[in-house]
Amino acid sequence: MKIATWNVNSIKARLGHVLSWLTTAAPDVLLLQEIKCQTGDFPTAPFLDIGYSAAVLGQKAYNGVAILSRHAIEDRRTGLPGGDHDEQARYIEATLAGVRVASIYLPNGNPVDSEKFDYKLAWMERLRRHAETLLEGDEMVVLGGDYNVCPTDLDVCDPAAFAGDALCRPQSRAAFRALLHLGLTDAFRARHPDEPRRYSFWDYQNRAWPLDQGLRIDHLLLSANAADRLGRCDIDRAPRGLEKASDHVPVWCEIDA
């Protein structure tokens, strides 16, 4: 099973890019973030035409997550548990051919001296608690998405410049490690443990893309039984060079499911 994650930064603006990538890369599952449309406005039909069904949790103009799958989408859950009054569309999960997957759009958290950083850390603690519950079962689990966290300085183009950013703050990194300590594996680092300058995001500003000044903030975290079956894993930079590209690119891995 080939599983990919991609923050598309508006599904309507990037629909052609996504359809083209699905056709050429042919993942079994694509986890989407920042679809930026309401659930009922998601363009389901073009994906059905090429063999992908969709589970969607949308929100007008902001956030939004989805799962595209060649397999039947079963036992859907929308919204991360523990936030009864949280209206932000950031989490959706389902079972696909026996694998439990989630599409995650974790809060950015900037500026760090605001309630946005507190919300990020609280959201990450909710995610840790829920992941712990998911890992109690026998299902393989893949938690993929835009985590808005650079796990280490190896994942940042300029560690000194980003030291105060919510994506690199010690609290954010500690919360990410807490997920790994549950027994989750960062699929990319499992296959590329020390490889530098491998990024999944380049800002639109300051010529970040042509200068290759990026960040690795999009991750696929695997349960132990999924990590045991991990094959190839990589980051596909090509879509970032397209006209009107998303500022993120797909990250994918293969699991012998």
For residue 211, the domain's CATH number is 3.60.10.10
138 shares a domain with 70: no
Q: Is residue 249 part of a domain?
A: no
| Tokens coding 38 | 């309401």
Give the per-residue pLDDT at 204.
98
219 and 125 assigned to the same domain: yes
Give the pairing type, strands 99-105 and 91-96.
antiparallel
In a domain, 96, yes or no: no
Residues 229 and 111 in one domain: yes
Instruction: Kindly report the pTM of this predicted structure.
Output: 0.98
The boundaries of the domain holding residue 144 are 106-234
pLDDT digits (tens, 9 = 90+) for 101-157: 999 999 999 999 999 999 999 999 999 999 999 999 999 999 999 999 999 999 999
Contact criterion met (CB below 8 Å) for 245 and 239 = yes
Q: State the total domains in the chain.
A: 2
In eight-state DSSP terms, residue 241 is: G
One domain, residues 130 and 68 = no
In a domain, 128, yes or no: yes
For residue 56, give the nearest of 31, 80, 75, 81 by alpha carbon: 31
223, 110: one domain: yes
Q: Does residue 257 lie within any of the structural domains?
A: no
Does residue 251 fall inside a structural domain? no
- State how beta strands 29-33 and 65-69 pair: antiparallel
pLDDT of residue 257: 82
